[in-house]
Amino acid sequence: MYFTVVAVNVGIFVLLALSLNIIIGYAGQSAMGHAAFFGIGAYTSALMTSTMGISFWISLPVALIVTGIIGAVLGLISIRLKDDFLAITTIGINFVVVAIFQYSEIFGASLGMTVSKPLFFGVKMTAPMYLTLIFILIVLTCLFINKMNKSWFGLALASIRNDEMAASSLGIDVNKYKVLAFTLGTAIAGLTGAVYAHFMTFIYSSDFAFIVSISIISMVVVGGIGTIKGAIFGAVLLGVAPELFRFLADYRMIVYGGLLVLMMRFQPQGLLGDNSFIMRNISKIFANIKKQKGGGQNAGNA
């Protein structure tokens, strides 16, 4: 049971990291308030199921769409800003959204919101069922991102990330694509929030605070920005790390923070990013296997 719960939590982080990666990795926009959208999805679905009595399964796509729309509007307002200005603006958005959750009566204000456990064909959802749901969502998200990267849209995002000015001189509506990436990323975060709310059965404004945004960014950066494998690896690593370092008790945050500092100093491209220490060695091993295979075949021919 403990492992399943940890696994669901890690899976939620994987989805968050994958979705944030669309914005900061593929579109290259420094968004620092991802947890806000995670929260918007969580509260949207919680309102639907627990206050209005609508099915959890309907609340999932609604949370996705509502968060996507809010993401698009906020994106339209802020995406014209560049780099550090966008970062500060999105941090501001995060604080405002958390404050709204904390002070609005409909969101339970400072008492938080109790979320009723959803039913799946008449049975109350158990942790393994959540794990399955999360796993399916992760697979779908990966397939979607993969497809996106191979499309014109993905190529356009790559060009924007490389050089915005050159991209717009080639006929690419830079702002439109940035907002689109922002919308997609926030929508997936909203969907994740809906699952999170019903898995935890209780949500509180600080679950979606700025510190959570920072954790998600750390996952993407540590794993390897701009890659699917990096985002997943980073989320699993940093998601599991607090559990692994539990024996260090009060010192685990020091270890966690220290890891981040060391990473940025020695592997800024992330553990699984291009030309990282790990990827270099993996490709070396593969090259060796290939060589041996090739050698074996040659020997056979002789």
Q: Should residue 171 be labelled a site residue for other proteins when binding is judged by CB under 8 A?
A: yes
CB nearer other proteins, residue 80 or residue 124: 80
Query: Does the CA dihedral 67-86-179-135 come out positive or negative?
Result: negative
Q: Should residue 279 be labelled a site residue for other proteins when binding is judged by CB under 8 A?
A: no
Nearest CA to 76 out of 60, 63, 93, 99 is that of 93
Among 168, 200, 204, 256, binds other proteins (CB under 8 A): 168
Residues 133-162 that bind other proteins (CB under 8 A): 152, 155-156, 158-159, 161-162
Element (H, E) at 202: strand 202-203
CB nearer other proteins, residue 102 or residue 159: 159
CB nearer other proteins, residue 32 or residue 167: 167
Given a contact cutoff of 8 angstroms between Cβ atoms, the answer to whether 208 and 98 are in contact is yes
Amino acid in the structure at residue 127: A
Q: Should residue 166 be labelled a site residue for other proteins when binding is judged by CB under 8 A?
A: yes
Q: Which stretch binds other proteins (CB under 8 A): 44-52, 64-72, 169-177, 204-212?
A: 169-177
Given a contact cutoff of 8 angstroms between Cβ atoms, the answer to whether 231 and 223 are in contact is yes
Q: Which residue has the tokens 């996952």?
A: 219
- We find the least distance from the C-beta atom of residue 148 to other proteins, in angstroms, to be 15
Residues 64-103 that bind other proteins (CB under 8 A): none
Alpha-carbon span 193 to 213, nearest angstrom: 13
CB nearer other proteins, residue 57 or residue 152: 152
- We find the least distance from the C-beta atom of residue 115 to other proteins, in angstroms, to be 43
CB nearer other proteins, residue 159 or residue 201: 159
Q: How many CB atoms lie within 10 A of CB 186?
A: 31
Which pair of structure tokens corresponds to residue 7? Answer: 């696994």
Q: Should residue 169 be labelled a site residue for other proteins when binding is judged by CB under 8 A?
A: yes
Q: Should residue 174 be labelled a site residue for other proteins when binding is judged by CB under 8 A?
A: yes
Element (H, E) at 127: helix 127-150
Given a contact cutoff of 8 angstroms between Cβ atoms, the answer to whether 270 and 230 are in contact is yes
Which residues sit at the interface with other proteins, rule CB under 8 A? 152, 155-156, 158-159, 161-163, 165-174
